[in-house]
Structure 1
Amino acid sequence: MIRILSTVTRIAADMLLKAAAFGLVLMTVIVGWQVFGRYVLNSTPSWSEQAALTLMIWYVSLAAAAGVRQGFHIRIVALEDAVSPGLRRGMQVVSNSLIGLCGVAMFVWGGELVLRTWSHVVPSLGIPRGLTYLALPISGALMALFAFEQVLERLGFRAPETISDKDAP
């Protein structure tokens, strides 16, 4: 069961990173078009700023969720490195549990934000404002799942392929 969870989360995190990278490239193209339109054509596209902002919310949220799985989220490891392996494991369980709770909060309150803003339309795009914020509950749920997997690993429930050199005592 742990092996299946590890495989699914690894594939999901890889897909999230690819989607986030695509969003970043697409946003760069849109902003480039906006600059070209403003300074060369003397006509700024009305949709470009909102489209770029929407994409940024999505790709940052998706990359943040993948960061929980991949371990590249912001954290301070100096204290972890200075303590014994047993205490380090305990600190990692606590920190991953807190990250999981933050993911649950993003899921709940991000979902509420989506519901409250779904009826508002982004005028320049013609899409529901809630669609812009839908990335928050999705990434929150994934953060909670990825953090849960990390807690299981730190407690000793790990799939053989997830053991890495950084986890060795």
Structure 2
Amino acid sequence: MERLLDKTLSRVDSVAQLVLLTCMTVMIAVVASQVFMRYVLNSSIDWADEVSRMAFVWSIFIAIPLGIREGAHVGIDILTSRFPAHVARTVTRIMLALAFVLMCVVTWESIDVAAKTWSERLGAIDISSSYFFVAVIIGSAHAALHLLHLVLHPLDGRGPDYPID
């Protein structure tokens, strides 16, 4: 089961990295083009704000699970660092499980909000405003998988700051 979860997460992570790279590239290109158009050509691109904002939101929510995988998110361990190793492990695992539950709730609620607002359109580009929530759905579900993996299969010093001994 661990190998299946590892393989699945590895493949999902690879796709997420490509999506993240694409979103960042689009955001940089659109913003740079908009700046050039405004300050050099005294014109603007109507859809630049919405496209760059969409790329920014997608970048953020697609990157969150990759940060979990790498242990890059900020953690406050002023209390748990004083615990014996076995207590710190247990507390860490409980907190990871709670974070998993939270990501499941975020995923579920985002699906609900996206469904309820699907008919709302963006002004300059004719797509649903719910595509912002699609990024939240994908990112929170992906993050939940990483958190579940950490709960079920603690790491041995790789990735998140997770005490082993």
**TM-score scaled by length of structure 1:** 0.86
Q: 1:71-110 alignment to 2 at 5 Å?
A: 71-110=71-110
Q: Which amino acid aligns with 1:95?
A: M
Task: Provide the secondary structure at the position in 2 that maps to 1:67.
Answer: helix
Match of 1:22 in 2: 22
Q: 1:46-61 alignment to 2 at 5 Å?
A: 46-61=46-61
Residue 17 of structure 1, CA deviation: 3.0
Q: Which amino acid aligns with 2:146?
A: F
Equivalent residues of 1:122, 1:129 under 8 A apart:
yes
Equivalent residues of 1:13, 1:70 under 8 A apart:
no
Q: Which runs of 4+ in 1 moved over 6 A?
A: none
Match of 1:132 in 2: 132
Could you say if the C-alpha distance between residues 13 and 80 of structure 1 is closer, same or farther in structure 2, counting changes exceeding 3 Å?
A: farther
Match of 1:157 in 2: none
Superposition RMSD on alpha carbons, in Å? 1.9
Which structure has greater helix proportion? 1
| Structure 2 unmatched runs, 5+ | none
Residue 36 of structure 1, CA deviation: 0.7
Distance 2:30 2:119 in 1: 26
Match of 1:69 in 2: 69
Task: Provide the secondary structure at the position in 2 that maps to 1:112.
Answer: helix
Q: 1:30-41 alignment to 2 at 5 Å?
A: 30-41=30-41
Distance 1:15 1:82 in 2: 39
Equivalent residues of 2:61, 2:135 under 8 A apart:
yes
Match of 1:120 in 2: 120
Match of 2:9 in 1: 9
Distance 1:41 1:142 in 2: 42
Could you say if the C-alpha distance between residues 83 and 10 of structure 1 is closer, same or farther in structure 2, counting changes exceeding 3 Å?
A: farther
Could you say if the C-alpha distance between residues 47 and 107 of structure 1 is closer, same or farther in structure 2, counting changes exceeding 3 Å?
A: same
Match of 1:159 in 2: none
Equivalent residues of 1:61, 1:135 under 8 A apart:
yes
Deviations 1:88-110 (A, max 9, x none): 11121121112112211211111
